[in-house]
Structures are given as C-alpha cells and as structure tokens.
Amino acid sequence: MLEKARVSLFLASRSITRGNKGITIFTVFVLTLIFIQLVLFSSMLAGVTLKFNELMVNFQTGNVVVEPKEEERYIEDASALQKKIESLPQVVGTSARLKTTGNFRYKEKEIGATVYGIDPADEIFVTGLEDAIISGEFLSRPDKGEIILGREVSGGFGALMESRSLGGVEVGDTVELTIGGVTREFRVKGIYTTRYFMADASAYLTRSDLEDMLGIEGRDLAQEIAVKTADGTPEDDTRTALLSLGISENIRTWHEFAGILRLIESTLGLVRNIMNAIGLLIAFVIIFVVIYVNIVNKKRQIGVQKAIGIEQNVIVASFVLQAMLYAGAGVILGYLFMRFGLVPYTVSHPVEVPLGDMSLKLDNAEALNRAVLLFLSSVVGSVIPAYKLAQKDLLDLIWGK
C-alpha cells in the first residue's frame, strides 16, 4: 500500500515538474484567488457581526440590562439598586433609564420614536452617546426642556430613512413631544449618530423631564438599568454575580436583545454560502479541465504505465495527488496573503462602511473548513477525468484512440 502511494506521488510530482509551467502557475494562481474569496467573505461577515455587536453594546444596551420583575412596570428604589450593582469590581458604570414611546411633531412632520429618560452623568459611563454627537452638545444633569435626537429622528446628517424622519431638524429648533396624552415642547440641544439604525431612531432627555411627563416625579423609578462591565468580562459571569447579590429583577445580557442582528447575520450567511458554492464550482471546473487536458496529452504515457504493470488505481491516485498539490499550494498562498497581508492591512487601515470603520477578522477554524472544501472540490474534479480515461483499453491509450 505504501509502495503504491509512493509511486502515485512520484508520478504526480514528475507530471508537475515536467509539465507546462505556465498552466501550473495559472492553476495555482486561480485556486489561490478562489481560496481568498472563500475566506474573505467569511472574514467580512465576522467583521460586520463584530461591528454590529460592538455598536449595540456601546450605544444601546451596555453589557447587561436589569429590567423590572415579571408583571411589574418599574424597578423601584433604582438608586439603591445601582449602588448595589456598582459594588461589583467588574462593573464600570450603570445608568438607570426610563423608556417609552412618543410622538414627535416638527412643522408638518410627525413620527413616533423611542424616548429615553437618563441621568447624563451616569450615561457617559455606560454608552458612548456623548462622543456620538455630530451637532450641538450632549445633555447635562441640570438641563430642563432640552432633548437630543438620533439622526433617524431628526433627519439629515446621512439618515438612512430620511422620509420617515422629521425632515431636517437642527440644533436650536423646537419639537413637540407627546407621551400618553401629555405634550411638551423641547429645544433640540444635540443630534447624534452611532451608525447603528436602532440606536439612531431614538431620542434622549433627562430623567426629571420624562418623570414629569409620565407623572412619576420624585419616586426613584426606572424601567431598565444598563450595566457596563470591564473589557473581557463574560456577560454570563456578571449575571451570576448580580444574582448572588440577591437581585430578583430580570437580568438579561446584550445577546438577548440582538434578534435583528442575528437575522442580518443569517441573511449574510446565506449570501456567503452561495458565494462559497460558486467558488467551489469554479475550482471543480478548473481542476477538471487542467487534469483532463493533462491526461489527454499523456494518453500514450498512461498506456505505457499500464503496460509495465502500474495499476489503474495508482495512475488515478497520481492525478488526484496532482490536483491536491495544486490545491495545497493555493491554500497556503491564500492563507499567507490573508493572515499576513490583507487582515493586518485592514486593522491598520480600517475599511469605511455605513456602520463605521471595519476590519477583517480571520477565523482559523473557518479557514481550515474552507481549505477542506477546496481540497474535496479538487479531488472530485480530478477523479472523474482520470478514472474515465484510466478505464480505457491499453491499445486505445497507446495508439491514441
């Protein structure tokens, strides 16, 4: 068995070294590009997913969210609960929020949006909203009658859904906000964009202003407490730590709010699989053609090999090994290009996308999976022509029939 394998490898290596160098280089080059395409889309998907997750954590939920108990509308004594949560060493900050929906009116435009009531001094330790301001200023604790709007609410500033916005509100303008039949006018203090649609379709005012509109002023209530933890802290560990403090409210990690992100991810995954199938089909065709042409040009040689006693399966295996060597060279060159070329370049020079600056993320397990698929495609593409020709009669091969 080992001897047969050695003969197959010898025949494959001789075929490559004595064959047309141009065809060999072209085949390896194409397979390298196919492997890069297979891995690149997966790396892009991983990069986009990572960016989506980052935006959600940094601008909307924090790492963990504490919500009211079942069948209760508010968290009571929110300040005391904040202090208890902040006693954990891994907690960077907390923000007790009120959250509701409201109708905004500006000139002839009217839209609905999510409204948050926050303590600005706490919010800056949980989210990056202060740094997301693109016009005007962030809220401060003493503010009364002032509001900041996401660009999807204000309109302008590159809003993705301009037709469903207020049509171009600017800092200093006054908007009407109606919540539960209570209407107030607010001066727009700032406009922000996180480049994450869900976060940009909201508005923020101080907790005292929203308490007044909801009729719960002075009662220290909250509808959620967003918790920011130190980098690298597993959210499940934080949840366990919070439960150990005797907190009976609902504790949810940011993953539980990422339903729409999972939908986007699954859609992109479907596109990735289609692109991968096309790439593998191209690899199959390339290998099939190269091996077929090689075999046709070596009919007499194959006939002679069979005449001197080399078995048919050894000859077939030699062409399969030849295809695997082509694929192996393509995988190695493609991986080296991705690992030490393209990925480091996008880290130092991030790609500008609508979500922000994005870099590729190469997953070694994913790359190995794509390499295996490319090898399988190459093996199938080489076995078919090699097996069909090796089955021909000895005289037909020698006389070229």
pLDDT at position 160? 83
Buried b (16+ CB within 10 A) or exposed e, 52-85: beebbbbbbbbbbbbbbeeeeebbeebeebbeeb
What is the pTM (predicted TM-score) of this model?
0.72
Average pLDDT over residues 157-164: 85
CA distances from residue 277 to 30, 142, 373 in whole angstroms, order as listed: 16, 59, 10
Rounded Cα distance between 168 and 157, Å, is 8
Q: What is the mean pLDDT of the segment spanning 353-357?
A: 66
Which pLDDT band holds residue 298 (cuts at 50, 70, 90)? low
Residues whose CB is less than 8 angstroms from the CB of residue 71 and which lie 6 or more positions away in sequence, other chains included: none
- pLDDT tens profile 221-261: 999 999 999 988 899 999 999 999 988 899 999 888 877 66
Averaged pLDDT for residues 206-235: 92
Q: Report the pLDDT value the prediction gives residue 301, as an integer from 0 to 100.
A: 62
4 Cβ neighbours under 8 A, 6+ residues apart: 311, 313, 314, 317
pLDDT on residue 162: 84
| Confidence band of 355 (pLDDT split at 50, 70, 90) | low
Beta-carbon contacts of residue 121 (< 8 Å; ≥ 6 apart): 140, 141
pLDDT attached to residue 68 = 92
Strand partners, 64: 227, 253
Collapsing DSSP states into helix, strand and coil, what is residue 292? helix
Query: What would the pLDDT profile of 109-134 be if each residue is shown by its tens digit?
Result: 999 999 999 999 999 999 999 999 99
Neighbours of 243 (CB within 10 A): 11
pLDDT score, position 79: 92
Q: What are the extents of the domains in the chain?
A: 1-56+262-399, 69-248
Q: Is 114 left (phi over 0), alpha (psi -120 to 50) or beta?
A: beta
Which residues pair with residue 182 across a beta bridge? 179
| Residues contacting 362, CB < 8 A, separation 6+ | 39, 43, 46, 338, 339, 343
Q: Is the pLDDT of residue 401 over 70?
A: no
Cβ neighbors of 70 (< 8 A, separation 6 or more) are: 250
Query: Tokens in use for 27?
Result: 């085949």
Most confident of 30-39, 92-101, 290-299: 92-101
Encoded tokens for 307: 């005449």
Whole-angstrom Cα distance, residue 94 to residue 96?
Answer: 7
Distance CA 55, CA 355 (A): 8
pLDDT tens digit sequence for 72-94: 899 999 999 999 999 999 999 99
